[in-house]
Amino acid sequence: MDKKLIITGASGFLGYHLLRLASANYQVYGITHSNAITYPNATLINCDISNYIQFGNLVDDIEPDAIIHAAAISDTNYCQQHPAEAYSVNVEATANIAGICSDYQIPFVFTSTDLVFDGTKGMYNEEDERNPVSVYGEQKCKAEDEVLKLYPLTSVYRLPLMFGNPQASVGNYLQKFIAQIKQGEKAALFNDEYRSMCGAQSICKSMLQLFEHTNGIYHLAGKERLSRYEFGIKAATALGLNEALITSCSQKDVKMAAPRPPDVSLNISKAIALGYAPLSVDEELQLIAGNKYL
């Protein structure tokens, strides 16, 4: 517990799971901004990561041994409609934090996304050409380039669509899905959008085990290539929800501000070679259904 770890985006979905898993081995400092949270095993601090001086002073005071940067404006439609605001967080703040970690020469983790790819082929490996179709994907591409230029020892982990504890955050994909079905509403899920979906528990556990021993780009995702519809059926089965309320639709049937790639499934063999061993989607869902998550 002597090591100090800063986790940005502590009030978000990924931050929720990171806080709970990291606190077993680190003295954790969770950075929040717009959403205040409480967690007894971490020190929660309100700070605007876009304010370089404020965040820099905070790092000076804490003197962390590592920083995991999980904060982002990740709503793709919001980023598409508010690109300047999103850029200040997704790119500028990220580059500033990488620069601070370079100054301290401490491990830095930047969480990126599968949406850096255009989805034309699927099962992308780390060396495949990036060609994002949305502003959010473009900004994550730019941030990847910036952090690796500023601090080559950065670990960039590209993550998929994740699910986890339904209480993790109000924007939790699984939470929204469960609430919709329980209210008797139909859930229309894409049958032609494929992701390497994975439970946040598997990803966060592995991230915490690997980050001090890696640098460069790695894909941390699930072993299964699933459409949103296929995942919805699995989730309904595991959680005892009414499958009859789940309907199948196509991306072209739903008009959204941000374009969506059809298949951004990820090849995870590089991470597996280092010991990455995610649970299957069914295994993670069973843990959630049995209230045994985290």
147 with 189, same domain: the answer is: no
Residue 144 within a domain: yes
Cβ 32 vs Cβ 11: under 8 Å: yes
- From CA 80, how far away is CA 260, in angstroms rounded? 11
Residue 88 shares a structural domain with residue 138:
yes
What average pLDDT does this structure show over 69-85? 97
Flag whether 29 is in a domain.
yes
**What mean pLDDT is predicted for residues 46-60?**
95
**pLDDT over 90 (residue 2):** no
Within the chain, how many helices (H) and strands (E) appear?
Answer: 11, 13
78-125 confidence digits (pLDDT tens): 999 999 999 999 999 999 999 999 999 999 999 999 999 999 999 999
Model confidence at 46: pLDDT above 90 = yes
Q: Tell me: do 137 and 237 sit in the same domain.
A: no
Residues 274 and 236 in one domain: no
Q: Domain check: are 35 and 109 in the same one?
A: yes
Say if residue 232 is in the same domain as residue 102. no
Q: What is the CATH number of the domain that holds 250?
A: 3.90.25.10
pLDDT at 150: 97
Q: Above 80 in pLDDT, residue 1?
A: no
Range of the domain at 180: 173-193+226-263+283-289
**Global confidence as pTM:** 0.96
Residue 173 has pLDDT above 80, yes or no: no
DSSP state of 152: T
pLDDT at res. 170: 63
Counting residues of the chain whose pLDDT is more than 90, the rounded percentage is 90
Nearest to residue 110, comparing CAs of 76, 140, 77, 80? Answer: 140
Is residue 172 over pLDDT 80?
no
The answer to whether 106 and 65 are in contact (CB under 8 A) is yes
- Number of domains present in the structure of the chain: 2
294 is a domain residue: no
